[in-house]
Each structure stands twice: as C-alpha cells, then as structure tokens.
Amino acid sequence: METRKVQVTGGSTYTVSLPKSWATANDVDAGSEVEFYPDGDSLFLTPRTEVERTRGSLNITGLTGQKLTRAVTTMYVSGFDVIELEGAKITTEQHSTVRDAVQSLVGLEVLEEAHDRVVVRDLLDSSELSIHNAVTRMRLISLSMLEDAITALSGLDHDLAHDIIGRDDDLDRLWLVVSRIFRATLRTPRAAEELGLPREACFDYHSSARQLERIGDHATKIAHLTLNIEDPLPDDVTDAIDGLHDDAVDVIDTAIDALFEEDNDEASRMANEARTGVRDIDERVRAIDELLRDLDPTRAQLLGLVVDSVLRSADYGGNVAETALQEAAPTP
C-alpha cells in the first residue's frame, strides 16, 4: 500500500499524484486520461481505454462430453465475449458438444467452425443486462416449478413432472447469466456503473440467485420422485405436504421481497418474518413425519425425500432472508 497527500491547486482543485510503478504498469503517461468511479466513501480509478470485447482462447484437445461443456461454460461465466476453441483436429463429436453448450447459454452464438478452430461470440450488450430482472425471473421460474412439483405429486401427473424437469434448464441458464454479470462487476467498476447498482448489491443478488437455483433443483428432485410413485397417496399426507409447500413459499416470497425492499427498516422486518417462518416449518415437518410412519417403508422413504426437499427450499429462503438482513444493516 502507498499513501499520497492531497494537494490543492488553483485554490479549489484537489490533486493527488499516482504511484509511478502503477502508472508504468498500466501505460499511464502525461496526457493519459483516467476514469473515476465513486462507490460510497471510496473512489475507484482506472485507465481510460476503448471498450473492447474480451477474447479468450482454450485448447480443447482431449476434452469431450461434460468436461468440454464445463470448459465452455467456465469461459462464458468468466466474462469472455469472444471464445476461441482450438485443437489440432476438432472432432465431429466435439463440434456437436460445443454447439449444444452454446445453445444452453444466453447470448452465445457460434461464428466460425473449422477442423482446428471454433469461434463463439457473446451477442448481448452488457449495458442492457439487468441482474435484478434476472433474479426476478429466477424467482418466478423456481417457485412455479416447486408449485407444479407438488401438484404433480398430489395427482401423480407424470407429464407435468417431465415438464418440470425440462424447465430446470431455463433456470440454470439464468443462474449462469447472473454469475457472468457478477464476475464482470468484480473485474471493473465500469460494469457496476452500467448496472446502476453498487457491487455489494450485486453480490447479494448473486448469492440469492444461487439459493433460487437450488430451489429449482429440489423441485426437479420431487418431479423425479413422482415418476417412481404409481399408487395414489393418502389424502391426509397430500394435504399436509400442500400445507408445508404453502408455508415454504411464504418464506421464500417474503425473503425475496425483503431483498428488493429499499426501506431498510421494512426490509429487516420482512427478513425476520421469513426467518421465523423457517422455524415454524420445522414443527410442521415433525407432524408429517408422524403421518409417514403409517405407510409402508418404501413409500414412506420416497415421501420423506419430498418433505426434505420442501424443507430445504424453505431453508434456502431463510438464507436469502439472512442476505437481506445484512443488506439492510447500517453501514459501518
């Protein structure tokens, strides 16, 4: 760390010198322009450069299947606008895997394909992306998946269960978009300014989006469990699980509302209400466990996993509430 004294020139202009080592490393010289980004009581300074699309290259020789898919996804989340995949000979299988990976990511498109090279480009304008809108959309999708999962279970609707499983891909795509936006705000203050949000808020949105993605995973798990059930369930059990689901949704909705609430006092009130709701749900789960004791072991085990998934979804809502509380806390 280096320190500098602030000087006053011309009676009203505050000036401070830049460390020479930093200026040299970043090609800042006499006449260079720099950008300032206020962030609370901090001020970020960066060299002014032309906004260029970031390029990244990756040798995919020997990468196939899920490893190749993860490699493309990692490059995307890391923020590369142009991704160049190279290899001595890219196989037909690798080409197909890359195309499938690109189709599963928002904004990507294959621009060029050759025997030794594939070029992928992000067509989205980062200034038009909204992390708030992405999280809001994730909220709608995850809660609709959870509601439909309970409906499919109650009616043993296998068609609806399959539909829920397919919707998980949409939720995953949005989660990766949120991750990409968040990582961009870590790299440059310009990204946070374009979003119109402080970086702490971006972190809270990213953390909460992760919880919503997990809720979608549990809705998918319930759908898979439903496919393994053939005989109708007892009415008292389905009614109890319906009630548990309603309480879980109240927790999640209240927590997300608290996260979005601008009034800190109201946000704290709602977040604490959501946390209390999680504790109340534990009591309901114990009552359902008693009902399951009267069923045959196989069916009781399957329904126990359903109950656990609903409970965990409520817990994820509680995690969002914790984030909302931290966001609403006074700044030190």
With the CA atoms of 157, 158, 163 and 168 taken in that order, what torsion angle do they form, in degrees rounded to the nearest 10?
A: 110
End-to-end CA, the chain: 22
What's the pLDDT at 71? 95
In the predicted structure, residue 90 carries a pLDDT above the cut 60? yes
Split at pLDDT 50, 70, 90, the class of 308 is very high
> What does the alpha-carbon distance between residue 152 and residue 165 come to, in Å, rounded to a whole number?
12
> Taking the model in full, what pTM does it have?
0.85
**Three-state DSSP class for residue 34:** strand
| 160-172 mean pLDDT | 96
> What does the alpha-carbon distance between residue 39 and residue 189 come to, in Å, rounded to a whole number?
9
| Range among 42-46, 101-105, 191-195, 254-258 rated most confident | 254-258
What's the pLDDT at 19? 81
Domain boundaries, the chain: 7-47, 55-122, 129-328
Pick the residue with more confidence: 122 or 147? 147
Split at pLDDT 50, 70, 90, the class of 76 is very high
Q: Amino acid letter at 322?
A: E
Tokens of 25: 């490393």
What's the pLDDT at 240? 94
Q: What is the pLDDT of residues 20-47, one digit of tens each?
A: 777 777 777 777 777 777 766 677 777 7
What's the pLDDT at 314? 97
CATH ID of 55-122, from 2.60.120, 3.30.230, 3.30.110, 3.40.109: 3.30.110
Split at pLDDT 50, 70, 90, the class of 52 is low
> What does the alpha-carbon distance between residue 107 and residue 73 come to, in Å, rounded to a whole number?
12
In the predicted structure, residue 105 carries a pLDDT above the cut 80? yes
Which residues, in sequence order, are bridge partners of residue 82? 55, 121
With the CA atoms of 242, 244, 246 and 252 taken in that order, what torsion angle do they form, in degrees rounded to the nearest 10?
A: -140
What's the pLDDT at 51? 54
CATH class of the domain defined by 129-328: mainly alpha
What's the pLDDT at 194? 75
In the predicted structure, residue 187 carries a pLDDT above the cut 90? no
What's the pLDDT at 13? 79
In the predicted structure, residue 331 carries a pLDDT above the cut 70? no
Q: Amino acid letter at 164?
A: I
The radius of gyration computed from the CA coordinates of the chain, to the nearest angstrom, equals 25
Q: Name the phi and psi angles at 37, rounded to 5.
A: -130, 105
Pick the residue with more confidence: 26 or 134? 134
In the predicted structure, residue 6 carries a pLDDT above the cut 90? no
Percent of the chain whose pLDDT exceeds 70: 95
- Asked whether 282 and 307 are in contact (CB, 8 A), the reply is no
In the predicted structure, residue 170 carries a pLDDT above the cut 70? yes
E-assigned strand segments in 108-229: 108-114, 117-122
What's the pLDDT at 322? 97
> What does the alpha-carbon distance between residue 89 and residue 331 come to, in Å, rounded to a whole number?
55
Residues 6+ apart with CB under 8 A from 85: 57, 58, 60, 72, 98, 117, 118, 119, 120
Counted residue by residue, the chain has a size of 332
- Asked whether 255 and 320 are in contact (CB, 8 A), the reply is yes
In the predicted structure, residue 126 carries a pLDDT above the cut 60? no
Which residues, in sequence order, are bridge partners of residue 45? 36
If you average pLDDT over every residue of the chain, what do you get?
A: 89
In the predicted structure, residue 290 carries a pLDDT above the cut 80? yes
In the predicted structure, residue 128 carries a pLDDT above the cut 70? no
